[in-house]
Every structure is written in C-alpha cells, then in structure tokens.
Structure 1
Amino acid sequence: MKLYQIKALAITFFMSFAINTFAQDENFYIFLSFGQSNMEGFAKFEEQDTVEDERFKVLQAVDCENLGRKKGQWYPAVAPITRCDTGLSPADYFGRTLTEHLPKNIKVGIINVSVGGSKIELFDKGNHQSYVASSPDWLQNTVKKYDGDPYSRLIELAKIAQKDGVIKGILLHQGESNTGDQSWPQKVKGVYDTILSDLGMDPDALPLLAGEMVSEDEGGKCASMNPIIQTLPTVIPQAHVISSEDCEAVDDGLHFSAAGYRELGKRYGMKMLTLLNY
C-alpha cells in the first residue's frame, strides 16, 4: 500500500472516530428554562433536593466557585441549579419527574437562566438594554452575572447543548412583574420565536410549558395574571399552561414553598411526558 493511501485511510479512521465520539446523543433530552424568581428558585432547598440522579444533568449558566462548577459544563442537577446562591426551582422536580418515568437509557439535561424580579422584556433580544438600563441596581447586579444579557447566555448554552443532545422543550415561569399586561402573551411569543430562530429550529418546533402564578386560594398577590397566562396557547400553538392550584405558597403571596415547587415541577414534568408520548 502506498504512503498516500495509508494517510487517506488514517484520516478516514480519525474522522470516523471523531464523529462517533462527539456525535449528538439522541437519548439526551435537553430543556431550556427561564423566567423570574419562581423559576430562579426562591425556597430554601432541603437534603432531599440534593440527592444526585445520574441521569439528570444541569448545564451550568454561571461560574460558581462555591459549588465547584464552571459555566458551560455539565454537572449533576442538584439544587441550586440556577446560580450559586439560588434556591429550589420547579425545574428541579421537572427533571426528576422525567427521569423517574422515562426509559432508563434516556438522560435529561436542564439549562436555567432566570432573574428574580424581571419582566419578560429582559428576554427581548432586541430591546433588553433599555429595560435593564431603567431597572433598579439590584436587578442590574443580577443581570451582570450573565454578562449583561441573560437571553444571549441562554442561547449560548443551548448551542453547546445541541452538540450533546436534543432540545425537546422550553419551560417558563414568569409574569409577576407583568401582572395585568394584556400584551404579555404576544411578548412571550416574540421571545419564543426568536429562541427557535437563533437555534436554527423550525417555527413552533418545541413545546412551551408556562406555569401559573401563586393561586388566589393560596393568597397569590398576582393571581389576576393567571387568566392572561391561560390565553397563551391561543397565541403559541405549542404552548401549554401548568396549573398552580393547590401548590403551597409562602406568606409573601408571590412565591411557592419548597413543597409547592416540588408539586409544580412534577406537573411540568407530567405534562412533558404526555407530549413526549410516555
């Protein structure tokens, strides 16, 4: 065999090895989540929330020296999964519910980019700068942890994740800061459409699960937003609303308790399982 033929075979072998080694895993289901404080995670997590599930991973959104995690790398998805000092989130028990019910060969990955107290305008790709500039210092300081642009961080991480697995859906819990805003569904559609476009996906390619605010029966101060959230499927065909009814809340009337987050997260998970035909 001639030298150039040996080289050609070697190159072919290397390329085949590389493709097989770094190929996208179709059994790695990835979900994007974003929103404000309830998706960020407000309740203090407990020991049961830090038990590792080897099939549930988080793609770290920010560097966290205290957790030994670096941005853009996968880790076991144990609380806190949003940032270094956040609490329990519905995304935690969304993922745990999926791994409990999906076939054992399927792994679940979550990406959570959320900012407490933020309006949906924070995730408006073209106009977030003016919103941030007019926001209070405490919100601006949180946004800085995402280099000033949480939406771009979400897309940056999603593109990393696309190399490792398959994005299967989007989770949203946001609305307290937009309570009474009748244009909220259209604003969410704008964010949803832009996400799909920036990820090179077809329009309406992903289900969007949107959770309700704390319910009126639980003393929800923003419960009047729930009827507006319930109209989201009329604007986004792939949208589904997750009820917060009977999800335990804390005394501030804005946030869920740890038990409430676990229940709400399970509801997100059970809905996604039906959409995945499990």
Structure 2
Amino acid sequence: MKFKSFLLIMTLVALLSSCTQKQPEKSDFHIYLCFGQSNMAGAAKAEAQDSVVDSRFLMMSTMDCPDLSREKGKWYTATPPLADCHAGLSPADYFGRTMVENLPEDVNIGVINVAVGGCKIELFDKDNYQAYADSAPEWMKGWIANYGGNPYGRLVEMAKLAQKDGVIKGILLHQGESNPNDTLWTRKVKDIYDNLITDLNLNPGEVPLLAGETLSAEFDGKCAAFNQFINQLPQVLPNSFVISSAGCPGQADGLHFTAEGYRILGKRYAEKMLSVTN
C-alpha cells in the first residue's frame, strides 16, 4: 500500500509540474515571409560551416521533400535548403541566424520561403499569375507545380498555418533579374505586399518589407542596372527598405551570389529588420 501511495503522490507532482511549467508564448515566435526568384531560393551550395543551426531558428517546409524527411506545412530546424527541396544557401539562412543571435533567448525565428528561379514578379500577382504561369518555359512550370501551381497562394496558405503558432513580423523579397527595365516593378511589388497584408489580416505599419539589390556591378552583375528601380521602392511602398548588395561576392554567371555573398546579404537583411522593428 505504501508503494502505491508513493506512486500516486509522484503522479500528482508530475501533473502539477506540467500545469505550472511556462509554455512558449505565441508572441515570442517571430515569423518572416520570403519570396522571389533564384537568389531568394538560394543558388550557392551550402558549405560545412552552414550545417550548424541554432534550434531557435526554424523553417516551415513549403512543399513535401521526402529526401529531406520534410512535409509541407511543418516546422523544422532551419538547415539549408530553406526554399524548395533542391535549393542552396540563401539570404534567408543568415537572416534567421543573425536574428536569433541578437534577440532574447525566449524568442524563436521562423521563415517561410517560396521562390521560383527565373520568374518575373508577375508570378506572385494574386489575380493574374495564371497567365504568366501558362506562358512560362517547361522547366519553370515544373517548379511552379511544386507550389501547387500558385506560389502566391502557397505562401499565403503556409503563412496562415504559421499564424497559429506565431506572429508575422516582416517580409523579405529578392527579385528583379527577370524584370529588366520594368518601370512598373515597384508598383507591382506594392500590389503583392498589399494583397499579403489583406489576406493575412496584418497591420502594414508593423510589417516592413525588405528588398535586396541584385548582384552589383562590382562583381560584374548583369542586372546591376536594375538596382536603380529597387531603390525607388520606398518612394512607392511605405515601410519598405532596400538592402545593399555592395561587397557581396557573386558567381561567374553574373546573376547569383556566392555562399559568402548570401551570408553577407542575409546578415544585412537582419540588421535592417532589427533596426526598424526594435
């Protein structure tokens, strides 16, 4: 009888402990939406130094990736790739790492990355994406199909799931190489931003958008001239900020950053986000 009484007491103690243990606060899980083309997806192979990630930095898989043991809509420690199943290192990687390094230990960071290599900004147009998707090259159609045929829709779908766990704090964009000389690019980005704000019931004053420059002329960036349009974005979209690519090394193709370039760029995204949200 004494042994049974002891077991009963221990069971009650365990139950009381579980009831009084502090549960993670929803407000302590900060979520960031990432979208764009191949530079946001990540076009550089991750290196050994990129394999160690703080457990406070998470990614939501935006598609099923059986080879990575990932399921769409579930959270995982944010080891690259953070976008599609076969992507590389991206700005989102060192954005998240830098954020957790500079925030209190009870704050977790989550990213949701939907990016399609080579796509124009029109692919994320909520109302008119289908016309662009239908005219896309076959290799891109397969990429789009991985996002259910609607990358914008997939981003919103995943974001709504994430809102059950945390709070959306900002949006990261890297796109532009496929919209050369597009004087309406800033307006198109604003339309996408406005749709995200509406569809996710967000306060635009509390959710900044950060847009990264394309590979700079310093590293023979083929689309460096487009940076003049990216830098006009804050004039069209309040609460948006431009992330400089100066000094971020690029690959020989003149379009993509090296792994080191992505690390620098990602850190700059984080430094700006920290400065405008704290």
Whether TM exceeds 0.5 here: the answer is yes
**Amino acid in structure 1 at the alignment position of 2:142:** N
Counterpart of 2:252 in structure 1 is 251
**Amino acid in structure 1 at the alignment position of 2:121:** I
2:228 aligned counterpart, secondary structure = helix
Contact 1:23 1:163 in 2 (8 A): no
**Amino acid in structure 2 at the alignment position of 1:142:** W
Deviations 1:75-117 (A, max 9, x none): 0001011111110000000000001111111100000000000
Deviation at 1:50, TM superposition (A): 1.6
**Amino acid in structure 1 at the alignment position of 2:145:** K
Deviation at 1:130, TM superposition (A): 0.3
Counterpart of 1:162 in structure 2 is 163
**Amino acid in structure 2 at the alignment position of 1:46:** E
Contact 1:24 1:162 in 2 (8 A): no
Q: Which ranges in structure 2 are unaligned for 5 or more consecutive residues?
A: 1-17
CA distance in 2, matches of 1:23, 1:38: 33
Contact 1:23 1:164 in 2 (8 A): no
Counterpart of 1:82 in structure 2 is 83
User: Is residue 2:183 matched to residue 1:201?
Assistant: no
User: Is residue 2:249 matched to residue 1:214?
Assistant: no
Contact 2:41 2:90 in 1 (8 A): yes
What TM-score does the superposition give when structure 1 sets the normalisation length?
0.91
The structure 1 segments of at least 4 consecutive aligned residues displaced by more than 2 Å after TM superposition are 20-24, 202-205
CA distance in 1, matches of 2:127, 2:99: 34
Alignment of 1:59-74 (within 5 A): 59-74=60-75
Deviation at 1:24, TM superposition (A): 6.1
Contact 1:24 1:166 in 2 (8 A): no
Counterpart of 1:176 in structure 2 is 177
Counterpart of 2:12 in structure 1 is none
* Percent identical: 54
Contact 1:197 1:203 in 2 (8 A): no
CA RMSD of aligned residues (A): 1.7
Deviations 1:139-172 (A, max 9, x none): 1110000110000000000001111001000000
Q: Which ranges in structure 1 are unaligned for 5 or more consecutive residues?
A: 1-16
Contact 1:27 1:105 in 2 (8 A): yes
CA distance in 2, matches of 1:44, 1:243: 22
Counterpart of 2:104 in structure 1 is 103
